[in-house]
Amino acid sequence: MTEGINQAAAAAAATPRVRLEGIRKQFGSIQALRGVDLDLMPGEVLGLVGDNAAGKSTLTKVISGAYVPDEGRILVDGQAAGYTTPAEARAIGIEMVYQDLSLCDTIDVAGNLFLGREPRRSVLGLKLLDRQRMREEARRNLDALDIHVPSLDAYVEQLSGGQRQSIAIARAAAFAPRVLIMDEPTSALAVAEVEAVLRLIRRLAEGGTSIILITHRLQDLFRVCDRIVVMYEGTKVAERRIGETDLEDLVGLIVGGKAEKLKGHA
Amino acid sequence: MSTTPIYERRPTGPRYHDFLARHAQVLSIAAFFLLMVVLFSLNTNAFLSQANLLNLLRQSAPLIIVAVAMTFVITTGGIDLSVGSTVALVNALVAIALQAGVPWPLAVLAMLVLGGLVGLLQGWFVAREGIPAFIVTLAGLSILRGVALLLTQGFSIPIASDNWFVQIGRGWFLGLPFPAILAVLVMAAGALALSSTRFGRYVTAIGANAEAARRAGIGVQGVTMAVYVLTGIAAALAGIVIAARLGSGSSNAAVGFELDVIAAVVLGGTSLMGGRGSILGTCLGALTIAVIGNGLILAHISPFFTQIVTGLIILAAIWLNTKVFRGGRRR
């Protein structure tokens, strides 16, 4: 059913939400990205897979503004996007959950959710942090994601790895982004928490958010993705609609040249 | 044999455990402070007299003012070693300006602007050019003191006591010494700014994880520069108060002042690693240092002990804190 909705949405808006054209990025002598083209449609969930150092993280950091590509163009809704910092990308609705989570340990849960966009109230002409509103909205956001923390006033350093990861996801998802990039969002999560994140991904996509998901948990991809892109040595080597592929096919595409050997063993 | 597993949420421990862990440093310096007050009250007759307490407040005002600003710098993970030299430069320059006939309000304003510019320049090197704050402000410490010495040739410059300017250091308002009122105002503004404004939140965020702050769209460079402007202005204000109280300006003022300031901040529980700062703690730290100096003199103990005792208390307080803190933190 969800696929039908997405196809309708895709037909209605044929312009990709994000289009990458010939993206190249080099670090010293290492060619991290060697000319990558990619389309991300509105409301689409795109799985990005590949071996380690295939260029997945670099590509997503280019989209999120953390890296500026050496060559190539980024189009957002058909317009050339000139952002060069994460803040500028965020301003046009591109959010990212970083692998290192990017949380501030000595700030409380609610404060981390609102970092950089704290609501304020006016007291005698002074603009002070509106703690009550931060706490109420944080509670609502976390409840919607089934995330349990001991206290919203707890410092993030007091939380477990899974709770920290949940909070990083909640922060990116809370502000109705147009593009949400998630780099290994479920690596530290327990079973119930993974389920909640997968549900969240589907829900956001149905609301029109375009999502890029990097994960080593291939079984998750088949549950939420519309399309899967395989990277290898800094290039895009394959693209599959989810109905046209299976686990074995995907593993073969990821390991590439090593596939024949693997089959020999099997 | 087997029993049905019981699923229930684990109970949370009492909330006051979190409170104690989070405020351990402020609580411990408060205890130290009270201990010192009780000790000196019992050992000397003069300590608790009104005249002595008011004098104590007057004398510790410059320390409190600069320590409040320094709390912001250290909370970003930086340090400002140049504050003592800035005090000396302003101290000397304001006396020179007044002697040259500059009206005092103009001289005061010019000095505050000068302090701000010194901070801006150092902040620029730290924030924009990425040079470690320790290096930049160590250079500042040397250069600014050198400029002050050059301007005065090492002589002390008198300020006429009929100039209203000296009231900034000697005057009274509502029964309190004027410098003490300045210190309380700075403290209140600092406490509000650090705990309840976006600026204070960003100062903490930068100290906790500067890259996360950048990714969250915070203007990390601007905020970092701003905290050095704050210490520059605060040091200028301290230089003005000291010049007004002593009725003279000297390039030898406030030697070693930066160390007292940093000691006060660290005693108060602000982490040198950044991300954790308390204005209340800083003020208690500054008052503790002031009380030790004052009390030892009243107790007829050699004032040279002051530095030894201050050092020992810093070491003891920080050592206790690291022990107390290990429990509540995961990383």
Per-residue pLDDT 10s for chain B (331 aa) are 556 666 666 666 676 776 777 777 788 888 888 988 998 899 888 888 888 999 899 999 999 999 999 999 999 999 999 999 999 999 999 999 999 989 999 999 999 999 999 999 999 999 999 999 999 999 999 999 999 999 999 889 998 888 889 888 888 888 889 999 999 999 999 999 999 999 999 999 999 999 899 888 888 999 999 999 999 999 999 999 999 999 899 988 888 899 999 999 998 888 888 899 999 999 999 999 999 888 888 888 887 787 788 788 778 777 776 666 544 444 4
Structure tokens at B230: 């704050």
What residues of A are in contact with residue B208 (Cβ under 8 Å)? 104-107
Share of chain A above pLDDT 70, in %: 91
Structure tokens at B51: 């005249």
Closest among B98, B129, B107 to B224, alpha carbons compared: B129
- Asked if the Cβ–Cβ distance from B276 to A106 is below 8 Å, we say yes
Which option is the CATH number for A2-102+177-265: 2.60.40.10, 3.40.50.300, 3.40.50.2300, 3.40.1350.10? 3.40.50.300
Name the pLDDT band for A1 (thresholds 50, 70, 90): very low
Q: How far apart are CA B62 and CA B261, in angstroms?
A: 9
Q: How far apart are CA A185 and CA A172, in angstroms?
A: 11
ipTM above 0.90, yes or no: no
Residue A114's φ and ψ, nearest 5 degrees, are: -105, 10
Query: For residues A97 and A181, is the Cβ–Cβ distance under 8 A?
Result: yes
Distance between start and end Cα atoms, chain A: 37
Q: Could you tell me the sign of the dihedral formed by the alpha carbons of A38, A42, A44, A45, in that order?
A: positive
How confident is the model at residue A264, as a pLDDT?
Answer: 52
Q: How far apart are CA B196 and CA A235, in angstroms?
A: 48
Helix axis angle, B104-127 to B133-152, nearest 10°: 150
SS3 content of chain B, % helix, strand, coil (to 5): 70, 0, 25
**Which residues 49-88 of A have a C-beta within 8 angstroms of B?**
66, 85-87
Residue B32 lies in a domain: no
How confident is the model at residue B131, as a pLDDT?
Answer: 95
Q: How far apart are CA B312 and CA B320, in angstroms?
A: 12
What residues of B are in contact with residue A110 (Cβ under 8 Å)? none
- Asked if the Cβ–Cβ distance from A102 to B208 is below 8 Å, we say no
Nearest to B209 among A85, A105, A153 (CB): A105
Residue B287 lies in a domain: yes
- The residue of chain A nearest to residue B22, with distances taken between CA atoms, is A155
Q: Identify from A90, A153, A155 which residue to disrupt to test chain B contact, counting B C-beta atoms within 10 A and taking the largest count.
A: A155
Query: For residues A146 and A194, is the Cβ–Cβ distance under 8 A?
Result: no
Q: Decide if B213 touches A, using CB distance below 8 A.
A: yes
Residue B91 lies in a domain: yes
Domain tally, chain B: 1
Instruction: List alpha helices for chain A, DSSP H.
Output: 2-12, 56-64, 86-91, 109-113, 131-144, 161-173, 191-206, 218-224, 247-255, 259-265
- The residue of chain B nearest to residue A161, with distances taken between CA atoms, is B330
Helix (H, G, I), strand (E, B) or coil at A185: coil
- Asked if the Cβ–Cβ distance from A127 to B197 is below 8 Å, we say yes
Residue B23 lies in a domain: no
Helix H or strand E segment including B233? helix B220-246
Q: How far apart are CA A103 and CA A166, in angstroms?
A: 11
Q: Decide if B222 touches A, using CB distance below 8 A.
A: no
Domain ranges of chain A: 2-102+177-265
Name the pLDDT band for A165 (thresholds 50, 70, 90): confident
Residue B86 lies in a domain: yes
Q: How far apart are CA A226 and CA B40, in angstroms?
A: 75
Dihedral Cα B123, B127, B129, B135, nearest 10 deg: 60
Q: How far apart are CA A111 and CA A119, in angstroms?
A: 10
How confident is the model at residue B297, as a pLDDT?
Answer: 85
- Asked if the Cβ–Cβ distance from B196 to A87 is below 8 Å, we say no
Q: Decide if A104 touches B, using CB distance below 8 A.
A: yes
Residue B296 lies in a domain: yes
Share of chain A above pLDDT 90, in %: 29
Residue-number span of the structural domain to which B106 is assigned:
51-324
Q: Identify from A103, A109, A115 which residue to disrupt to test chain B contact, counting B C-beta atoms within 10 A and taking the largest count.
A: A115
Query: For residues B80 and B258, is the Cβ–Cβ distance under 8 A?
Result: yes
Query: For residues A106 and B234, is the Cβ–Cβ distance under 8 A?
Result: no
Query: For residues A230 and A38, is the Cβ–Cβ distance under 8 A?
Result: no
Widest pairwise Cα distance in chain B: 97
Structure tokens at B199: 């600026």
Ramachandran region of residue A13, left (φ > 0), alpha (ψ -120 to 50) or beta? beta
**pLDDT tens-digit readout, A102-146:** 899 999 999 999 998 899 999 888 899 999 999 999 998 888 777
Average pLDDT of the residues in A206-230: 90
- Asked if the Cβ–Cβ distance from A116 to B216 is below 8 Å, we say yes
The chain-wide mean pLDDT, for chain A, equals 84
Instruction: Give the CB-side neighbour count of residue A29, counting CA atoms within 13 A.
Output: 0
Q: For tokens 């375009």, what's the residue?
A: A210
